């Protein structure tokens, strides 16, 4: 994939005459599949050897349109490449559009009576954790390997105890905490298990962690929970193994409850494939979602059920804001109009941190915002004391 200068990239469409892709421009990063160089003769796109390419946003959508036409100038192979690339293409809005939408989103937040944040893996990518359905996402790599074999995918390194405990909250995590403190956001529902919301300062009663928390374990007998400064793994062998009847994994961590009358075995809280969501957690999420009149869906493709339905279960009309890099089945909901012809929600493509920086500039007084942002280094030290490295 060709690149330009340090602050620009070259569009992969061979006949593009729009010039370099600047950092402030809208762009699309796409991944198809590998095709040998000697078979790429006559292609309209300069795909790299691994099947990656970057485009001006307009060039990308022109390419999709061309791939759908019967008399397309694309070869059969390149048409298939475009169709494959569409599945995981990552879109980044221009800076101008980002700022316009941030203004609108700030207005929505200020006028909301019960705003709720709904978060996914995309808010943690800036912390160094991989996502699931991005170009290099865990499920993307799995699907590529199943379809194209080892040549079509790269190994996804496992999430080790060390790299999990080294993660720190991102700008978006901290912005959510600040908006909770200012009473702009009332509640958080998260699909993430990385523990960064709680580490950033979100209180136990302010969040439903639908899929568990890697730094929280609970007692099998009395259900007492323990927030730890270390990663709470399962599969312990120093206590009797208890294979879960749903996911077939041993959730026990090797520790026991502190309550002398209980002494039950502790287990991690991670929800694996096949596990049921914890009833009290999903019930709390549903209760708060029903109250919401604005949902900020950040860093999620909204593909996991039943969690995704929560973003449309609030007050009517539905006001939904989505920020991530990929299209979702809920995008049209964001663009519905009210009786005045104004957009009820907002749809932003790109990185959550970039959007939230612009939103916070429009919500917090300048002096307060600058001071809060400058204090991040102090907060990082606090986070460090709460994690056992």
Quote the CA–CA distance of 61 and 65 in Å, as a whole number. 6
Residues with Cβ within 8 Å of 379's Cβ and at least 6 positions away in sequence, in order, are 169, 174
Beta strands 27-31 and 90-92, pairing class: antiparallel
Largest Cα–Cα distance of the chain, in whole Å? 76
- Exposure letters 257-292 (e unless 16+ CB within 10 A, then b): beeeeeebbbbbbbbbeebebbeebbebbeebbeeb
CA distances from 8 to 11, 19, 259, 334 (A): 10, 10, 59, 30
Strands of 320-324's sheet in order across: 207-209, 185-190, 115-119, 294-298, 320-324, 346-349
The catalytic position among 92, 211, 251, 288 is 211
Q: 80 with 47: CB under 8 angstroms?
A: no
Quote the CA–CA distance of 159 and 180 in Å, as a whole number. 30
Q: Is the peptide bond before 306 cis (omega within 30 degrees of 0)?
A: yes
Active-site residue 104, yes or no? no
Catalytic residues: 211
């Amino acid at each position: 994939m060709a690149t330009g200068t340090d602050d620009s990239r070259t569009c992969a469409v061979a006949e593009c005459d729009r010039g370099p892709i600047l950092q402030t421009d809208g762009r699309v990063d796409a991944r198809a599949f590998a095709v040998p160089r000697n078979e790429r003769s006559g292609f309209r796109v300069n795909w790299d050897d691994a099947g990656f390419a970057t485009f001006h946003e307009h060039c990308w959508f022109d390419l999709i349109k061309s791939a759908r036409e019967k008399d397309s100038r694309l070869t059969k192979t390149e048409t298939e490449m475009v169709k494959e690339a569409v599945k995981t293409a990552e879109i980044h809005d221009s800076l101008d559009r980002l700022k316009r939408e941030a203004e609108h989103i700030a207005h929505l937040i200020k006028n909301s009576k019960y705003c709720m944040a709904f978060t996914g893996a995309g808010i943690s990518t800036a912390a160094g954790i991989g996502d699931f359905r991005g170009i290099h996402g865990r499920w993307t790599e799995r699907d590529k390997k199943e379809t194209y074999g080892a040549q079509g995918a790269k190994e996804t390194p496992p999430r080790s105890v060390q790299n999990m405990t080294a993660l720190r909250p991102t700008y978006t995590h901290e912005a959510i905490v600040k908006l909770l403190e200012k009473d702009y956001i009332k509640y958080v529902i998260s699909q993430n298990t990385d523990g960064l919301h709680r580490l950033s300062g979100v209180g136990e009663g302010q969040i439903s962690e639908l899929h568990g928390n890697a730094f929280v374990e609970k007692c099998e007998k009395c259900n007492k929970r323990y927030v730890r400064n270390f990663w709470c793994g399962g599969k312990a062998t120093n206590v009797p193994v208890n294979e879960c009847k749903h996911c077939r994994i041993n959730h026990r961590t090797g520790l026991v409850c502190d309550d002398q009358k209980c002494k039950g075995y502790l287990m991690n809280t991670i929800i694996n494939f096949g596990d049921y969501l914890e009833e009290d957690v999903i019930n709390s999420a549903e209760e708060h979602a029903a109250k919401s009149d604005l949902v900020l869906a950040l860093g999620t493709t909204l593909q996991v059920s039943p969690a995704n339905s929560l973003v449309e279960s609030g007050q009517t009309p539905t006001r939904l804001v989505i920020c991530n890099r990929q299209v979702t089945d809920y995008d049209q909901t964001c663009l519905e109009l009210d009786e005045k012809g104004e957009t009820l929600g907002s749809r932003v493509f790109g990185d959550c941190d970039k959007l939230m920086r612009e939103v916070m500039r429009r919500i917090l007084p300048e002096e307060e915002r600058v001071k809060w942002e400058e204090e991040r280094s102090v907060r990082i030290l606090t986070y460090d004391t709460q994690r056992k490295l």
